């Protein structure tokens, strides 16, 4: 692409319009940078996901300006019911009078709402346009990106928020054989569920460990049903289709969904990358975020909070100024500080849950008394850092009693 005069120039080019990309675009635009966000998909679009928002995701969404009242299918979560491999079920309550700590919303709605916020912040959003080529200019000269139907774009910084099969990463020759993901998950929506399914349920089924099955509540008698397994674990990825075929008819799951529950739409499957501690986070003027940075919780497979976090951190590094090297170092250090210790704790706990005995013991210990049940629920939903006990620099008064999100405004019931 040498010698090609760009048709567009921008401070920040964001490739990908999911939560990570929108978070970067909102943050960059609010800081006064020119921002162009491109995505090959046309929005609104569905995304295969559990649709769950942890406390971390809720707080970061609030920080970005997301208003739940504008999302008709927003479903707050008050309790989580954990089903042990032994068959024992324990209810873990979240605080009920101090903001929201968990919610469920279809990604079709959630991603569109964040993308609208990016537009409102001043970012130019161009969906339905795919990146076809990227050329990094040497000596701190930014990057020139070819976008189908748009032309050549020069950007000082590129934020690659284009998923685990990142086109940007592939264009830069950074893809490896380890890019298949660390987890593999299935999801399908279910209608006509029973009242029991109005709670969030997680089943540690013995044959899925250290993975799990879930039922996440949605309005109008619907739920998001799915399961995830560790790639390379006891369940071969090739056998997951057979597991899905019989998932809803497992007695413990059917007891929650009810006899009249029906699958709707199509089943979807996706790999989940979870290796932020060893992922390539930057290359010249390019910063990788979200799934492109493998920034998913290795214990739960949750990635929306991590996507928002990396998108914000990348844009903050880019807008702080300095050379490409300065920006890259700032971003790497921020990810290390905010995510890597918690990732390593999740990997360690994953080993505990790999066997039925460990999973049974963990659920029993967490459900020991009211205090342990309440704090386990808050820890599980990322109210406080996964590795808080191992990171003394984050110890402070009130660390175990923080408020949820949206405490300053009333959220209408949906």
pLDDT, residue 175, reads: 81
Kindly state the greatest CA–CA separation across the chain. 68
Does some domain include residue 280? yes
Looking at 238, 272, 306, the residue that finishes a domain is: 272
Q: In this structure, are 233 and 293 located in the same domain?
A: no
Q: In this structure, are 255 and 135 located in the same domain?
A: no
pLDDT, residue 401, reads: 84
Alpha-carbon gap, residue 63 to 331, rounded angstroms: 19
Q: What is the mean pLDDT of residues 100-119?
A: 97
- pLDDT tens, residue by residue, 71-96: 999 999 999 999 999 999 999 999 88
Alpha-carbon gap, residue 101 to 78, rounded angstroms: 8
Percent of the chain with pLDDT over 90: 79
- pLDDT tens, residue by residue, 188-227: 999 999 999 999 999 999 999 999 999 999 999 999 999 9
The CA radius of gyration of the chain, in Å to the nearest whole number, is: 21
Residue 414: pLDDT over 50: no
Looking at 297, 324, 350, the residue that finishes a domain is: 350
DSSP-based three-state secondary structure for 92: strand
Q: In what order do the strands lie in the sheet with 222-230?
A: 89-93, 79-83, 200-203, 212-218, 222-230, 183-191, 262-272
Helix and strand totals (H; E) in the chain:
11, 18
Q: In this structure, are 187 and 289 located in the same domain?
A: no
Q: What is the mean pLDDT of residues 327-342?
A: 96
φ, ψ for residue 185, nearest 5 deg: -135, 155
- pLDDT tens, residue by residue, 36-55: 999 999 999 999 899 999 99
- pLDDT tens, residue by residue, 123-161: 999 999 999 998 877 677 899 999 999 999 999 999 999
* Most confident of the ranges 26-30, 269-273, 300-304, 350-354: 26-30
Per the structure, the complete domain to which residue 237 belongs is given by 183-272
Residue 98: pLDDT over 80: yes
Please tell me what DSSP assigns to residue 100. B
Q: In this structure, are 53 and 152 located in the same domain?
A: yes
Number of structural domains the chain divides into: 2
pLDDT, residue 413, reads: 42
């Amino acid at each position: 692409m040498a010698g090609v005069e760009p048709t567009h120039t921008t401070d920040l080019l964001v490739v990908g319009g999911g939560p990570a990309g929108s978070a970067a675009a909102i943050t960059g635009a609010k800081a006064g940078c020119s921002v162009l966000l491109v995505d090959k998909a046309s929005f609104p679009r569905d995304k295969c996901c559990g649709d769950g928002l942890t406390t971390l995701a809720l707080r970061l969404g609030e920080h970005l300006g997301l208003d739940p009242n504008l999302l008709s299918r927003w479903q707050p979560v008050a309790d989580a019911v954990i089903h042990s491999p032994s068959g024992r079920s324990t209810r873990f309550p979240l605080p009920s009078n101090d903001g929201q700590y968990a919610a469920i919303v279809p990604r079709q709605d959630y991603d569109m709402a964040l993308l609208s916020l990016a537009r409102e912040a001043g970012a130019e959003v161009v969906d339905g346009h795919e990146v076809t080529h990227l050329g990094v200019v040497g000596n701190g000269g930014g990057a020139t990106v070819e976008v189908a139907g748009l032309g050549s774009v020069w950007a000082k910084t590129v934020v690659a928020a284009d998923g685990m099969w990142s086109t940007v990463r592939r264009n830069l020759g950074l893809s490896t054989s380890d890019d298949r993901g660390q987890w593999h998950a299935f999801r399908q929506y279910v209608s006509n569920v029973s009242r029991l399914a109005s709670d969030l349920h997680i089943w540690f089924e013995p044959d899925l460990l250290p993975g799990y099955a879930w039922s996440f509540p949605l309005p109008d008698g619907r739920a998001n049903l799915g399961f995830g397994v560790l790639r390379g674990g006891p369940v071969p990825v090739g056998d997951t289709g057979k597991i899905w075929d019989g998932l809803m008819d497992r007695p413990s799951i059917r007891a929650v969904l009810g006899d009249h529950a029906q699958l709707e739409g199509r089943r979807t499957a996706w790999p989940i990358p979870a290796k932020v501690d060893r992922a390539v986070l930057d290359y010249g003027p390019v910063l990788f975020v979200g799934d492109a940075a493998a920034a998913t919780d290795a214990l739960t497979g949750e990635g929306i909070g991590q996507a928002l976090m990396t998108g914000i951190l990348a844009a903050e590094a880019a807008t702080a100024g300095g050379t490409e090297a300065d920006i890259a170092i700032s971003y790497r250090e921020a990810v290390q500080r905010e995510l890597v210790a918690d990732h390593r704790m999740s990997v360690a706990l994953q080993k505990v849950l790999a066997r039925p005995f460990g999973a049974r013991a963990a659920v029993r210990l967490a459900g020991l008394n009211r205090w342990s049940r309440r704090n386990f629920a808050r820890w599980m939903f990322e109210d406080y850092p996964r590795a808080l006990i191992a990171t003394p620099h984050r110890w402070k008064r009130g660390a175990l009693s923080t408020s949820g999100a949206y405490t300053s405004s009333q959220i209408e019931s949906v």
